[in-house]
Amino acid sequence: MARVLFIGEINVDILMGGMETPPVVDREVPCKTFEVAMGASTVISACAYASLGGEVSFAGLVGEDDYGEFMLSGLRGFGIDTSLVRRTREVRTGVTVNMICGSTRTQVTYPGTIEAYGGEGLDEAVLARFHHIHFGGVYLETSLRPRIAGLLESARSLGLTTSLDPQWDPSERWECMDSWLPLLSYLFVNEGEAVSIARAGSAEEACRALAGRTACPVVKTGPRGAIVFDGGQPETVPGFRVDVVDTTGAGDCFDAAFLFARLEKKAPLREAARFANAVAARSCMFAGGTAARTTCEDAQAMLSA
């Protein structure tokens, strides 16, 4: 079994669901549900990969506070090795408030430890213990971002595969992307991110353009599924229809499932994307990014149905 290291942000998700309208300035908008859950793109991916049966370690930073302990306990509850997660008294654990109205979601994030984490201790001796390394949410990780190219180069020299889900860059400059793309085995982006990075007119055009810059771009298009570059052209792999409770973390679950299918099942690109679509769709049937705990059997049931 491949040992996978997830490197990235750790934060708590505060979920306010069932809002009557999106947030409105100077107006109180009621919601129907409230939860505190494990958050962060990379954490959700790691938990999804572990739920599928993968061997997972995590590297990141949490504060010496209640939310930090909540996140560490939650990661361990998924069977994830947290020996590479550091703790600090200098800043507090990051927090993201998710305001959910129908299928739309507004997020506000306190970066805290997300900005402070710089990848300390991740030398070649540590990286050599793994088969694959995944990065996520890098545009809030201001201390880690300058180190990513070097870590990707070290991974390549060690014969490891790598992946990145950058999440949105608020500046839309996509700093460092040109240096990362040639070093990646897999790039995961949603439609908006793909179009912005490639300066393209559509998700399909973006996938084609990115395929000229990186080994395997995968463009997530929500309920429509995903686009992979297979056989020299963009190929759409349809998604699944489900009753949506919360879309939080669906794309992160997709990343984990795609990697699991490729690393563990040795699946072709289209088959890996279909498996990932099923896991992402099932995630939308639960509140929060980690609540689904989708197993391989659960995913197979979605595929069979």
What is the C-alpha separation between 276 and 180, in angstroms, rounded? 23
What is the C-alpha separation between 195 and 205, in angstroms, rounded? 8
What is the C-alpha separation between 190 and 226, in angstroms, rounded? 9
257 with 231: CB under 8 angstroms? Answer: no
What is the C-alpha separation between 293 and 47, in angstroms, rounded? 8
The CATH number of the domain where 238 resides is what? 3.40.1190.20
Spell out the residues 6+ positions from residue 176 whose beta carbon is closer than 8 angstroms to its own.
138, 145, 146, 148, 149
Cα dist from 238 to 154, 224, 232, 278, 303, whole Å: 36, 6, 19, 10, 12
Residues in the chain: 305
Question: pLDDT at position 100, please?
Answer: 86
Which residue's entry shows tokens 């997972």? 56
The total number of structural domains that make up the chain: 1
**96: helix, strand or coil:** strand
- Tens-place pLDDT, residues 218-252: 999 999 999 999 989 999 999 999 999 888 899 99
- One digit per residue, the tens of pLDDT, for the chain of length 305 reads 789 999 999 999 998 989 989 999 999 999 998 989 998 999 999 999 999 999 999 999 999 999 999 999 999 999 999 999 999 999 999 999 989 888 787 889 899 999 999 999 999 999 999 999 999 999 999 999 999 999 999 999 999 999 999 999 999 999 999 999 999 999 999 999 999 999 999 999 999 999 999 999 999 999 999 999 998 999 999 999 999 988 889 999 999 999 999 999 999 999 999 999 999 999 999 988 899 999 999 999 999 98
Give the domain extent around 230. Answer: 3-304
Helices (H), ranges, the chain:
41-51, 66-77, 113-116, 124-127, 148-157, 177-180, 191-198, 203-211, 250-263, 269-283, 296-304
